[in-house]
Amino acid sequence: MRRALPVEFIYQAFALLVSIILVHAVYVSIVRPNAEAITAEQAKIREADPDSVQPRSVWVIVRNVEQEWCFILMLWALAIIVYKTAATVRERRFLSEDLLHIPDGMRILPEDTRDLARQIETLPDRIRDMLVPRALLASLHRFASTRSIEAVTGSARAVTDAEADRLDSELSMIRYIAWAIPSIGFIGTVRGIGEALAQAHKAVEGDITGVTTSLGVAFNSTLVALLLSIVLMFIVHQLQLQQERFVLDTETYVDRSLIRHLRVQ
């Protein structure tokens, strides 16, 4: 666990850098050139036919800097989610393995826990630090010291509850990003409305092009931000559901593979 934090921090920093480079490259090479070409074409059509109604283009909707940062944060959050999902999947595979090798019907007394604990302690550090081995080892140690099956159950639950709290706290960065995306959209809304108000005198004179363009910035940034936030929150809830199921399945695994074999005498 001590080595996981620096690795995850480096991964998140690298993921943010890659997200900025990729999204900005797409905007510079694809999004903004297409948006400018479509805007120029629509302007020519309006000059020829002022009553024409132009369809909204996706390139125009997403072209502003606020939308660019929304996509950067979305890609960053997805990279973090992939990392945490892979970690959960990697730990879940131990639920299908028999780490203690206890035959069915075998009785485990407090005196037998030392040999069983040694099977866990000889595992590599990266495996022993995972939830399933930690829960088993804590349960064995508690049974050896207290000779109480009830205490073993409480010990296993304490380990899984602590892991659930840790997993939930580590989602704070993703939740922050999910909050930041609509906030950036609202910043674009404020910027667009401010620009529209600054050009109100032109609208009074009959030229509403600047006002409508600025209002388009306002509404487009909000639209993109809210849509991305909805998608991101759905994915976050799926990740949280997967983690909660893993913690609950670990409790069941400890009960099935160890606790049901325990006997005080």
- In this model, does residue 199 exceed pLDDT 60? yes
Predicted model pTM: 0.86
Read off the tokens for 236: 């976050």
Q: Closest Cα partner for 254 from 106, 149, 162, 146?
A: 149
From residue 159, give the alpha-carbon distance in Å to each of 5, 193, 216, 247, 257.
Answer: 19, 52, 52, 10, 16
End-to-end CA distance of the chain: 36
SS3 166: helix
Task: Supply the pLDDT for residue 255.
Answer: 93
- In this model, does residue 184 exceed pLDDT 60? yes
Cα atoms in the Cβ-side hemisphere of radius 13 Å centred on 35: 17
From residue 248, give the alpha-carbon distance in Å to each of 132, 165, 219, 241, 259.
Answer: 11, 13, 44, 11, 15
Kindly report, residue by residue over 36-46, the tens digit of the pLDDT.
898 888 778 76
Kindly report, residue by residue over 203-239, the tens digit of the pLDDT.
555 555 555 666 667 788 889 999 999 999 999 999 9
From residue 61, give the alpha-carbon distance in Å to each of 20, 26, 54, 175, 191.
Answer: 19, 15, 13, 25, 15
Positive or negative CA dihedral for 177, 180, 184, 185?
Answer: positive
CA distance 238 to 230: 13
For Cα atoms 164, 166, 172, give the angle at the middle one, nearest 5 degrees.
110
Task: Supply the pLDDT for residue 203.
Answer: 52
- Band of residue 200 on the pLDDT scale cut at 50, 70, 90: low
